[in-house]
Amino acid sequence: MPALLVLLLGAVMVFAGAVTVTRRNPIHAVLAMLVSLSGAGLLMLALHSHFLAAMQILLYAGAIMVLFTFVIMLLSLKESEMGPEPASRKKWLAAAAAILLLYVLAYSLSAREPVQFQQPFLDAEVAAREASDGPLPRAQQVGFGSTEHFGRFLYTDYALPFELITVLVMAAVAAVIMLARRPDRHSLEATKLTGGGPA
Amino acid sequence: MDPLANLPFAKGDVALLAPIAIPALFGLVALLLDLALDPRGSKTPLALVNALGCALAGFAAVVLWKGDTGTVGLGGAMVASGLSTGLALAILLGTTLMGFATAHHGTGAGPVRTTLAHGELYGLMLFGTSGMLALVVANDLVTFFVAIETLSISVYALTGADRRLARSAEGAMKYFVLGAFSSGFLLYGMSLLYGAGHTLRLDQLALSTLDPSLRPMATTGTVLLLVGLLFKVGAVPFHAWVPDAYEGAPGVVTGYMSVGVKVAAFGGALLVLEAVGRSGALSTAGIWGLWAVAAITIIAGNAGALTQRNPRRLLAYSGIAHTGYLLVGVVAMLRCFDEYHPAADSGDLLLASKDAVAGVGYYLLGYAAANAGAFAVLCHLERGGEEVERVSDLAGLARTSPGAAVAMTVSLVSLAGIPGTAGFLGKLWVFRAGVGTGDVGLVVLALLASAVSLYYYLYVVVVMFMHEPLPGSAAAVAAEPRRWASRLAMGAAATATVVLGVWPNITRLLGVDLLELMSDGAEALL
């Protein structure tokens, strides 16, 4: 039953993805992407990752897509501003590359056993942990995919990347401030003071 | 109950984070300090904060990240060895020198004319450094990815730091869009590797024996991961962004990214490739694929550099060529995992592969010193926000500013790999390892290409020493004595280049033997 669900969701997501990259109207593309991202959320639900599924819907389908919509609305691109349609030869080349990639991926993924939807990878992780003789976190005792499970992993095993993300966000904030700053502020001030134009 | 009882790592392990945390903290200090500074004055206080942060982080790395077996810390999220310490020092050297080099940016005869926001510039350089240091100790694909993104976000923004110039924005945009695309490859590769290996930890992946039916999946994952990494180091055919980003970015940023991003990405690549190589996920065909990438990168980088007349573009193509030389070492490292190699299972092959790791580490150190030196000279010659745009602008520099000319010459000679400089020792080490693993053809190609590269490096030297200064060019305007910080950067870079090339053991006096560090790191990795 879960396999059927995954196939169905996969088909919807692939279709929505194709619509996303083929629409000329950016709003249509964004709406198709919304379907694709929601499908990913449902897929996570099927894999028993409730917390991740909720985050996927809230953050990607919710916040980020709203942001996309706002940007598109604020830019309000006209047909003439969107640039020419790419040459059809390029399109065929891109399609050929995509089909080749599809073939490689299908080949490399086809050999494996079907995914175990009930206990995704948990057994292997626990076994590896026991083999490595490290202290066992309580993560395996609580339900897989729950908020508690997620939180425990985030603040123990993934403490380093979690802390590093604070630096990443700080860098992003500083970057936005730098890039959004009005150019030539200092030069303008200097010009006013001396009365001369920039040489 | 002790709330920390459930932590999967010893509490003392938190100290291992110090080399990563210190630059980030000093980045915050730089952001705040800039508010208290005169916007029209020199930025030397920021450069000093930058240098202090880097020095403390370097000290912490030398003290904490030791161990010839590799210190696994934080529940396996990171692994530090001599190699990571050495690469961390190279990264920190680059950040320190570029910090000093840009301290007088925009100052000149008149009022300061610059559109660079220096507080954010130094802040982002230090935040990015934090990510670079995390990348060279990453033992977990999650840490690996977050570290790459931290350094990338900083560098994307820094590339567009000059808000006045369209080409700065263009370079940043190209770099950002292609970089985001390459991150997609990286992530897809990681998810396939996770699916095949059932672990995100590199040390566990290295130990896992992959089910033969899962090998194609792991190989595809590795190839996609490599695409993402090869993009970051600017290997052909993923190099299209390099010349535009290098030319568009302000000189200081180009210097910073040409050193830091390359050293960190190669450090991360060594860690990942060791794990996938050991697990058998990278087949013989994959190694030959990397061999081909190395060969094409060497040819394309050198061919592209021959016709460049913009010094930053010239150094961009030279950077691509150096990526190719470094890939020779990476291929040599991977040979010891090649089960079909004629000398497979022999001790000699393993020794040569270890040699390759140590060589790549030392090469990166020398490359960092030489490249930072070349860009420090370009920053030194910037006047009122105008950068040196043509090699011919350097004509007669030996007469007007002999110190800068000599520093530039030392850097270029080292990049060309002439004996007596760090570049020579690095090349010798890497190419010797390449011969040891049987990649003689690739090494011969690299040597021929190095000979070709002499033309475009020495052309710059000829222009500086033998041509008359052009009226109004950067070289014709006498260098201002007030620019002590960029003089310091040039001098330090040239000194480091020569010392690393002539007498590397002298670093023992500073409490750290760089040669030993690299060998220890190679021992810990392979």
Contacts of A132 in chain B (CB under 8 A): 76, 204
pLDDT for the residue numbered A195 = 40
**CA-CA-CA-CA torsion sign (A109, A115, A120, A121):** negative
Q: What is the rounded distance in angstroms from the CA atom of residue B173 to the CA atom of residue B240?
A: 13
Asked if residue A190 belongs to a domain, the reply is no
pLDDT for the residue numbered A190 = 45
Q: What is the rounded distance in angstroms from the CA atom of residue B253 to the CA atom of residue B387?
A: 12
Q: What is the distance of C-alpha B144 from the center of its chain?
A: 16
Q: How far is A152 from chain B (nearest CA, A)?
A: 9
User: How many CB atoms are closer than 10 A to CB B345?
Assistant: 9
B375 touches chain A (CB under 8 A): no
Asked if residue A34 belongs to a domain, the reply is yes
Contact present, A158 and B142 (Cβ < 8 Å): yes
Q: What is the rounded distance in angstroms from the CA atom of residue B365 to the CA atom of residue B373?
A: 12
Contacts of B249 in chain A (CB under 8 A): none
Q: Which of residues 487-506 of B touch A (CB under 8 A)?
A: none
B160 touches chain A (CB under 8 A): yes
Mutate to test the interface with A, among B124, B170, B187, B202 (most CBs of A within 10 A): B124
Last residue of a domain, one of A37, A52, A76: A76
Asked if residue A194 belongs to a domain, the reply is no
> Do A164 and B217 make contact, defined as CB atoms within 8 angstroms?
no
B292 touches chain A (CB under 8 A): no
Asked if residue B7 belongs to a domain, the reply is no
Asked if residue B161 belongs to a domain, the reply is yes
Asked if residue A3 belongs to a domain, the reply is yes
Contact present, B200 and A157 (Cβ < 8 Å): no
Asked if residue B4 belongs to a domain, the reply is no
Q: What is the rounded distance in angstroms from the CA atom of residue A33 to the CA atom of residue A15?
A: 10
Contact present, B154 and B186 (Cβ < 8 Å): no
pLDDT for the residue numbered A138 = 43
Asked if residue A31 belongs to a domain, the reply is yes
> Do A160 and B134 make contact, defined as CB atoms within 8 angstroms?
yes
Among candidates B127, B143, B204 on the partner chain, residue whose Cβ is nearest the Cβ of A167: B127
Asked if residue B6 belongs to a domain, the reply is no
Contacts of A165 in chain B (CB under 8 A): 146
Structure tokens at B412: 């270029």
- Going from the C-alpha of B338 to that of each of B190, B325, B361, B523, the distances in angstroms are 22, 20, 22, 18
- With CA atoms as reference, the chain B residue closest to A199 would be B384
For each successive 10 residues of chain B (526 residues), what is the average pLDDT? 62 82 95 85 88 94 73 75 89 94 74 73 95 92 94 94 85 92 93 86 83 83 91 89 90 92 94 87 86 95 92 94 95 86 78 89 94 93 80 85 92 93 93 91 94 93 87 63 83 92 78 78 79
> Do B131 and A199 make contact, defined as CB atoms within 8 angstroms?
no
The dihedral formed by the CA atoms of A24, A26, A27 and A29, expressed in degrees to the nearest 10: 70
Contacts of A128 in chain B (CB under 8 A): 198-199, 204, 208
Q: What domain range includes position B494?
A: 12-525
Q: How far is A79 from chain B (nearest CA, A)?
A: 22
| ipTM score of complex | 0.89
Contacts of A196 in chain B (CB under 8 A): 110
Among candidates A159, A177, A190 on the partner chain, residue whose Cβ is nearest the Cβ of B74: A159
Asked if residue A48 belongs to a domain, the reply is yes
Structure tokens at B348: 């000699």
User: How many CB atoms are closer than 10 A to CB B400?
Assistant: 19
- Stretches where chain A sits below pLDDT 70 are 1-2, 79-82, 111-144, 183-199
Sequence-ordered list of residues with C-beta below 8 angstroms from that of A84, at least 6 positions apart, any chain: none
Mutate to test the interface with A, among B72, B78, B204, B226 (most CBs of A within 10 A): B204
Which backbone phi and psi does B275 adopt, to 5 degrees?
-65, -50
> Do B115 and A190 make contact, defined as CB atoms within 8 angstroms?
no
Last residue of a domain, one of A76, A109, A129: A76
Q: What domain range includes position A24?
A: 1-76
> Do B39 and A164 make contact, defined as CB atoms within 8 angstroms?
no
Structural domain count, chain B: 1
Contacts of B128 in chain A (CB under 8 A): 171
Q: Which of residues 213-272 of B touch A (CB under 8 A)?
A: 213-214, 216-217, 219-220
Mutate to test the interface with B, among A142, A160, A165, A176 (most CBs of B within 10 A): A160
pLDDT for the residue numbered A44 = 85
Contacts of B121 in chain A (CB under 8 A): 178
Mutate to test the interface with B, among A130, A165, A167, A185 (most CBs of B within 10 A): A167
Contacts of B114 in chain A (CB under 8 A): 186-187
Q: What is the rounded distance in angstroms from the CA atom of residue B93 to the CA atom of residue B260?
A: 9
pLDDT for the residue numbered B3 = 58
Sequence-ordered list of residues with C-beta below 8 angstroms from that of B212, at least 6 positions apart, any chain: none
> Do B143 and A163 make contact, defined as CB atoms within 8 angstroms?
no
Q: How far is A33 from chain B (nearest CA, A)?
A: 16
Structural domain count, chain A: 2
Asked if residue A70 belongs to a domain, the reply is yes
CATH of the domain at A52: 1.20.120.1200
